[in-house]
């Protein structure tokens, strides 16, 4: 991976049941070693003008790419773990998961019991680090959970709406009146996440 401050990671999901039902084609090829996503032309022999269609490829290169068989732990270990470890060393960091509805963002973030996503893996990573510290070191871990929707900020734990973004010399940029919850164990972090998830806006998939 590159050493840039911003890295772009791409994950391609398999066809879902709906796509399989109407014989959708997978036109994506992954070259993991080169970090490339290759978009191929569909397998059509003729165009609307009844003439042979010319085959084409478009190649896009990223810091890292993962194919349809990738596991969540693979993404975490190869792409996200270093970000979480940087946070334990005092750096600010963000994992921004972007994509259209139904592309697999939630699965990558939360996963399932046998294939947990990067949120739970991050919790594990944080507490693994804390466990290596001597008893003389005191750690204060707080968690907040917000949602930004239609340019409005909501505290998902307290359900407080229309929070404001503020700036001060002491705190830098921060969200005013945002609740912070002390977390002594990984279970405490999970409770904050679960409480917030209950009030999160869920967009319906097509």
Over range 136-148, report the average pLDDT.
95
Is 117 marked as a binding-site residue?
Answer: no
Q: Is 121 helix (H, G, I), strand (E, B) or coil?
A: helix
Over range 131-160, report the average pLDDT.
95
Is 88 marked as a binding-site residue?
Answer: no
Structure confidence by residue, pLDDT tens digits, 72-117: 999 999 999 999 999 999 999 999 999 998 999 999 999 999 999 9
Is 45 marked as a binding-site residue?
Answer: no
Is 106 marked as a binding-site residue?
Answer: yes
Q: Tell me how far CA of residue 99 lies from CA of 5, 122, 172, 177, 183, in angstroms.
A: 21, 21, 29, 30, 30
| 22 phi-psi bin (left φ>0, alpha ψ -120 to 50, beta other) | alpha
Structure confidence by residue, pLDDT tens digits, 177-198: 999 999 999 999 999 999 999 9
- The answer, as to whether pTM is greater than 0.75, is yes
Is 103 marked as a binding-site residue?
Answer: yes
User: Domain map of the chain by residue range?
Assistant: 1-70, 71-134, 140-206
Strand partners, 147: 154
Strands 165-168 and 172-175, sheet pairing: antiparallel
Tell me the average pLDDT of the chain.
91
Over range 24-33, report the average pLDDT.
93
């Amino acid at each position: 991976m590159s050493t840039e401050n911003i890295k772009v990671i791409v994950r391609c999901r398999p066809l879902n049941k709906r796509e399989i039902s109407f014989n959708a084609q997978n036109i994506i090829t992954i070259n993991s070693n080169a970090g490339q996503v290759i978009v191929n032309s569909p397998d059509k022999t003729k165009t609307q003008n009844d003439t042979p269609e010319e085959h084409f490829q478009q190649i896009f290169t990223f810091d890292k790419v993962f194919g349809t068989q990738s596991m969540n732990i693979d993404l975490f270990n190869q792409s996200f773990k270093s970000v979480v470890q940087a946070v334990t060393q005092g750096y600010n960091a963000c994992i921004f998961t972007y994509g259209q509805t139904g592309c697999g963002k939630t699965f990558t973030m939360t996963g399932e019991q046998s294939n947990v996503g990067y949120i739970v893996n991050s919790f594990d990573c944080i507490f693994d680090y804390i466990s290596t510290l001597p008893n003389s070191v005191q750690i204060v871990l707080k968690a907040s959970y917000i949602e930004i929707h239609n340019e409005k900020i909501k505290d998902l734990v307290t359900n407080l709406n229309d929070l404001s973004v503020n700036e001060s010399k002491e705190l830098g940029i921060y969200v005013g009146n945002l609740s912070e919850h002390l977390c002594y164990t990984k279970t405490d972090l999970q409770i904050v996440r679960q409480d917030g998830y209950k009030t999160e806006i869920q967009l319906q998939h097509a």
